[in-house]
Amino acid sequence: MSKQPKEILLEQERCELKPKSGGGLLNYEVWGYQENGRTLVTRYNLAYINHAVYAGDNGRVLGFDNAHGYHHRHFMGKAEPVAFASYEAQLERFQQEWQALIKQQLKGKNL
């Protein structure tokens, strides 16, 4: 039985968005390991945080993660399971959704 390599922090980034870009911040945290030249993601947490839009859940308006043993999506305090194909697909979905939220916000629509 082979031992799984030690998990390492692959990416940790916080990006503050200027008010004219919707405000708030984006937070990315990704853990995993390298194996045979491939990067394998074991844990991830992707979040769009904006206390002006949503004060609950520490300001997390939108998020995707795989904490608690399953892949799920957070939206304004509610969590729901999501289908998982790959980390890259989750990242793409997260990016599309937060950009759509920002567009709505800038047009003055309610989320």
Render each residue's pLDDT in the chain as its tens digit; 111 residues: 567 788 999 999 999 999 888 899 999 999 999 888 899 999 999 999 999 999 999 999 999 999 999 999 999 999 999 999 999 999 999 999 999 999 988 887 555
Neighbours of 19 (CB within 10 A): 8
Say how many CA atoms lie within 13 Å of 61 toward its Cβ: 24
Asked whether the whole model's pTM tops 0.95, one would answer: no
Cα gap 79→76, rounded to integer Å: 9
Cα gap 68→58, rounded to integer Å: 18
Query: Strand pairing partners for 55?
Result: none
Which pLDDT score, from 0 to 100, does residue 110 have? 53
Read off φ and ψ for residue 87, nearest 5 degrees. Answer: -60, -40
